Structure 1
Amino acid sequence: MEQEPRPITHDDLHATYVERSIRELQRAVQEEEGVLAELRRGVAGAAPVTSAATSLSIMTTAYKAAARSDPFLPFADSVLPALLALRKTHGVLAESQAYLGGGDESKPASSTPALDQARKKLAMDKARLDDQRALQIALEARIVALRSGLETRSTMSAAEKRQEALDTLHTKKRNYDRDTAALLKSLKQFIQERLGPMLAAEELGGPVVGGMVDVQADDLAAGFSSQGKPRKVSSVSAASGKASKKKEDRRQRRIDEIWGPRAGARGDGGEENDDNEDDGDWDEATAAAAEMQELTEELLNALASAGGDSSAAYVTIARESAAARFLVRSRAAHFHPRDATRLRLVDFGRELDD
């Protein structure tokens, strides 16, 4: 009984294709070796190249012959293309692993600086994208709200529109008044706590405002030298109470001569203010702060009542005090060009109004 032939499997076909590919490559190698041997024999008997033109001519002829020759192409079922692709893929994979992990499998890929930098950049780009999307959503919602508002206003009567505009103006005025009160309160606190002692130091012959930031009450009481340096505070014993009283009287006279008596102590018929501090609290810093606050209030009131008239915004000052000089140095106020006793604030909002 005849034995049935074994069916040809895929492995058999693959082995056959591999053998054919090997024989084809061997034949191609033999042909190239034969051509190389002929070239070597021809070169051995030929004269050496003596010029660049001859060398160029030989190279040109060789390139033209290579261009006219048929390229080596494997047969249709050859495994050579698959082997070349596999070798190329393996090389790319090995290079990628070496780039990411430095060739060390125990070293995590995230420790590579280049990869960390790329991940950080990706995270930043994602954050920017999220911000842009959130902004887009907000803008779209705003557009929808504006369109609905326009549609609502289109159905309103003229009286309703005027009332809405009037309510808006009232709301803005209330907000402006509240912000103005808060700013004036902050300004008053700044003058009393920070600016007053520095103004007093400048009035007493010390450094200008800003030259000595931390001015103490003892420095103001002791005064300053002709060079603007604070004098050393001398300790007074308990037995010299009379001398201490005399020194305090001189200090009070100095305050009255520079800033004048306090508002409640003036003999101008003014009423005593219950909110004023005790007489012991009326020192150089308090007097300078009160002068600065009074000057700023006068300047603000004059500017508000001037109604845009620059000549009507000036106020007359009794002397060129440290407060006035500070406002001029700060470019918040300036003197009259022909009268140094008149001062006015710079109208910062006039250019915006115009």
Structure 2
Amino acid sequence: MEQEPRPITHDDLHATYVERSIRELQRAVQEEAGVLAELRRGVAEAAPVTLAAASLSIMITAYEAAARSDPFLPFADSVLPALVALRKTHGVLAESHTYLEGGDVSKLTSTLDQSRKRLAKDKARLDDQRALQTALEARIVALRSGLETQSTMTTAEKRQEALDALATKKREYDRDTAALLKTLKQFIQDRLGPMLAAEELGGPVVGGMADVQSDALAAGFSSQGKPRKPSSTATEKAGKKNEDRRQRRIDEIWGSRAPAREVGEDGEDEEEDTGDWDEATAAASEMQELTEELLNALAGAGGDNSASYVTITRESAAARFLVRSKVAHFHPRDATKLRLVDFGRELDD
């Protein structure tokens, strides 16, 4: 009785493929060995190459021959690609396993944290770039719409629009100027006036005594610049006499009493009640009048420095303070002339 043939299993097919792959590899090795032996014989028989051009020609010929030859490719059912892939995968896994076992966990954690921080920074930069791009696109759209609007306007309309814009800016500048002058006057009356009066009466220069009281100004200062102590035992008659002497001293230094002036919203001077006319008020009034004269002279000079000087009757504490602050300076050949430093002219130049 004939024995039935054993069915071919998957293991049989795999073994057959392995044998075919081995034979194919052996055949390829034999072919390469034959080619190598032939090349060695040719090199032994050939004369030594001494010229660089001949060596280059040989290399070119070899490369062209290699390019024309068919590459070695396994047959369709060969297990060689799978074996190569398996070996490569096994090597990667072995290296990863060695790195994880022998590596420092803290170092790996630090590397991971650094990578996460770099990722967060890159995301923040990306968000900033997107926001900037959105803003630039919106700005481009606005500029284009503005150009389209201007292109539809006539020359007269453009001129009128420019005039309206200049008039608006002028009103804003006038309003800001009035506010600044009002603030300057308040500063002169509250803080600067008493210090100027102290310097004028022989006391310390402006800034040497931060808080100057009215009693100290009334008592005066010693030859060393120290404030005298006010007398507390004076009778009513003596007090009136001292007050008259104080008033004469004020008139001799700052002149007779005159109303202070304040610049209003319309640019005109407005008179107001000065209240008590004491040393601080007189010094503040003198400082305000001097600054107003200097500003008006500078504005009316039209850029001519020689026409912006103001003639002063004496070298007062107010004038010295402006010079020390580098806000004004005297004429180089006439100490009775003073002018403001034209900061705006330097910017225009």
Residue 98 of structure 2: aligned partner? 87
Q: Deviations over 1:33-53 (max 9, x none)?
A: xxxxxxxxxxxxxxxxxxxxx
**Distance (Å, rounded) in 2 between the aligned partners of 1:129 and 1:200:** 63
Instruction: Tell me the SS of whatever aligns to 2:336.
Output: strand
Whether 1:232 aligns to 2:229 is yes
Partner of 1:320: 315
For residue 335 of structure 2, give the secondary structure of its aligned residue in structure 1: strand
**Aligned mate of 1:342, from 329, 332, 337:** 337
Aligned twin of 1:36: none
Instruction: State the 1:287 CA deviation.
Output: 0.8
C-alpha separation in 2, matches of 1:219 and 1:136: 65
Q: Which residue of 1 aligns with 2:76?
A: none
Query: How far apart are residue 294 of structure 1 and its match?
Result: 0.5
TM-score by length of 2: 0.64
- Cα distance between partner residues in 2 of 1:196 and 1:318: 19
Aligned counterpart, 1:210? 207
For residues 136 and 225 of structure 1, the distance between their equivalents in structure 2, rounded to whole angstroms, comes to: 71
Report if the CA contact (8 A) 2:301-2:307 is conserved: yes
Separation (CA, whole Å) in 1 of partners of 2:134 and 2:216? 61
The separation in 1 between residues aligned to 2:130 and 2:251, in whole angstroms, is 67
* Residue aligning to 2:240: 245
**Whole-Å Cα distance in 1 between the matches of residues 119 and 322 of structure 2?**
52
Give the drift of 1:89: 2.1
* Structure 1 spans left out of the alignment, 5+ residues: 1-74, 101-108, 110-114, 266-272
Q: 1:178 and 2:175 equivalent?
A: yes
Using the alignment, how far apart are the partners of 1:247 and 1:90 within structure 2? 100
Deviation string 1:110-166 (CA, Å, 9 cap, x unpaired) is xxxxx69x85x8877766665554444333322221222112212211111111111
Matches within 5 A, 1:137-148: 137-148=134-145
Distance 2:218 2:121 in 1: 59
* Structure 2 Cα separation of the partners of residues 260 and 243 of structure 1: 24
Residues 72-221 of structure 1 mapped to structure 2, 5 A cutoff = 81=91, 82-92=93-103, 94-96=105-107, 130-131=127-128, 133-221=130-218
Partner Cα distance (2:328, 2:288) in 1: 14
Match of 1:329 in 2: 324
Pick one of 245, 253, 277 that aligns with 1:258. 253
Kept in 1: contact 2:259–2:274 (CA 8 A): no
Match of 1:310 among 290, 294, 305: 305
- Match for residue 223 of structure 1? 220
Deviations 1:10-69 (A, max 9, x none): xxxxxxxxxxxxxxxxxxxxxxxxxxxxxxxxxxxxxxxxxxxxxxxxxxxxxxxxxxxx
Query: How many residues get paired?
Result: 258
1:302–1:83 CA distance, 2 compared to 1 (3 A)? closer
Q: Distance in 2 between matches of 1:125 and 1:84?
A: 31
Deviation, structure 1 residue 169: 0.9
Q: Aligned AA for 2:161?
A: E
Correspondence for 1:276 among 260, 273, 276: 273
| Whole-angstrom distance in 2 between the partners of 1:299 and 1:156 | 45
Please tell me whether the aligned partners of residues 295 and 340 of structure 2 are also in contact (alpha carbons under 8 angstroms).
yes
Distance 1:125 1:284 in 2: 67
Distance of 1:348 and 1:341 partners within structure 2: 22
Give, in whole Å, the separation in 2 of the partners of 1:188 and 1:324: 16
AA aligned opposite 1:259: W
What SS does structure 2 have at the residue aligned with 1:351?
helix
C-alpha spacing 1:220/1:353, structure 2 compared with 1 (3 Å):
same
Name the aligned partner's letter for residue 329 of structure 1: R
Residue 330 of structure 1, CA deviation:
1.4
- Pair 213,161 (structure 1): closer, same or farther in 2 beyond 3 Å: same
Matches for 1:286-297 after TM superposition, within 5 Å = 286-297=281-292
The one-letter amino acid paired with 1:227 is Q
SS where residue 349 of structure 1 aligns?
Answer: helix
> Equivalent residue of 1:292, what SS?
helix
* Partner SS for 2:343: coil
Contact residue 303 and residue 345 of structure 2 kept, 8 A: yes
What is the root-mean-square deviation of aligned Cα atoms in Å?
3.3
State the SS of the aligned residue for 1:193.
helix
Q: C-alpha separation between the residues in 1 aligned to 2:216 and 2:128?
A: 55
Give 3-state SS (helix, strand or coil) of 1:209's partner.
Answer: coil
Q: In the TM superposition, what is the alpha-carbon distance from 1:95 to its structure 2 partner?
A: 3.8
3-state secondary structure, aligned to 1:225: coil
Quick one: distance in 1 between partners of 2:132 and 2:216? Answer: 56
Kindly provide the amino acid, as one letter, of the partner of residue 192 in structure 1.
Q
